Amino acid sequence: MVKVGIVGGTGYTGVELLRLLASHPQAEVAVITSRSEAGTSVADMYPNLRGHYDNLCFSVPDTKTLGACDVVFFATPHGVAHSLAGELLAAGTKVIDLSADFRLQDAEEWAKWYGQPHGAPELLKDAVYGLPEVNREQIRNARLIAVPGCYPTATQLGFLPLLEAGLADASRLIADCKSGVSGAGRGAAVGSLFCEAGESMKAYSVKGHRHLPEITQGLRRAAGGDVGLTFVPHLTPMIRGIHSTLYATVVDKAVDLQALFEKRYADEPFVDVMPAGSHPETRSVRGANVCRIAVHRPQGGDLVVVLSVIDNLVKGASGQAVQNLNILFGLDERLGLSHAGMLP
């Protein structure tokens, strides 16, 4: 049994970790933290988990208790893992961070986008970007994993086959992405209120979103050089889901794009390339650790459209984090993650 600690257990990604780990046969949650709910039992706070964690209560984060775990997930705002990860790693505990703290390899770039100095630049050399479809071998031997963000997961998985094959004009990529409101977390904010976000849709951060440098870092690796990306996120009135509509110019019309995508992801348990002509729906991945993709070339032109959907809380966060745990501890990658999406 892998002994698990979770820092930030009352947030949306924290409770999603609990939901997924409840059916994991090889992992046991020993510690779950919340400063505001210390002493409350998990089952009282989350009735959907009754019968799964009846003896588990939230506690204040304490590195001694957390350091007795085999692995600790951080489901916290940025900056928290910076301050606690070093001590846990020194105690021999592995760290899987769902925040952005270790996703960017350049500490100065991180400071620019997050408006504060990087709190643990000395750990960056140990950080592995936890996108299994790219870094599976490095994840196996890691001790610190940076779980990719939700927009970055859907967007990178959609663009990778085209860029790795050198087919797309990497200087003019467009990612037009939509997110459900749970992407903003559980904290009270006017923009996330039902009356503000319901029955409406809007773009935001067109000038520059924090996920932009993370996506370009990954796409640069795939393309083997610089990329030019326009990334426009939107807030949509759904609870879960990311829908990325991706555009790339592919002049070579002889290439069979459907075969290219199918081949790239043939051995990937959590990427589903749909049949030609498909339109993946976010509801088909709700609650499931799946990225569902379709590739189109409208009117046979040179602009290729890739549609990529995930659940922001599963393949975009907690599911991908559990996938990383499975790889890290040499377990079957699908453990705790094999259920289908909830539809309708």
Distances (CA, A) of 161 to 202, 214, 279, 321: 29, 18, 18, 23
Give the bridge partners for 249, in sequence order: 303
Cβ(291)–Cβ(285) below 8 Å: yes
Stretch that binds ligand NAP, among 29-37, 119-127, 168-176, 282-290 (CB under 6 A): 29-37
Q: Which is nearer to ligand NAP, 161 or 241 (CB)?
A: 241
What is the pattern of x (binds ligand NAP, CB under 6 A) and - over residues 3-22? ----xxxxxxxx--------
Distances (CA, A) of 33 to 52, 60, 91: 17, 5, 18
Cβ(186)–Cβ(89) below 8 Å: no
Torsions phi, psi of 265, nearest 5? Answer: -110, 15
304 binding ligand NAP? (CB under 6 A): no
317 binding ligand NAP? (CB under 6 A): yes
Shortest separation between residue 135's beta carbon and ligand NAP, angstroms: 17
Residue nearest to ligand NAP (CB): 11
Cβ(84)–Cβ(119) below 8 Å: no
Site for ligand NAP in 63-102 (CB under 6 A): 75-78, 80, 98-99
How many residues in total does the chain contain? 344
130 binding ligand NAP? (CB under 6 A): no
Question: Could you say which of 150, 177, 195, 291 is catalytic?
Answer: 150
Among 42, 49, 61, 129, which residue sits at the site for ligand NAP (rule: CB under 6 A)? 61
Give helix 107-114 / helix 211-223 axis angle, nearest 10°.
Answer: 150
Please tell me the distance from the alpha carbon of residue 270 to that of residue 247, in angstroms, as a whole number: 23
| 195 tagged catalytic | no
Shortest separation between residue 260's beta carbon and ligand NAP, angstroms: 28
Stretch that binds ligand NAP, among 24-32, 156-164, 260-268, 308-316 (CB under 6 A): 308-316
Q: Which is nearer to ligand NAP, 312 or 323 (CB)?
A: 312
- What b/e readout covers 265-284, taking b as 16+ CB neighbours within 10 angstroms? beeebbbbbbeeeeebebbb
What are the residue numbers of the active site? 150
Return residues touching ligand NAP (CB under 6 A). 7-14, 34-37, 61, 75-78, 80, 98-99, 149-150, 182-183, 185-187, 312-313, 316-317
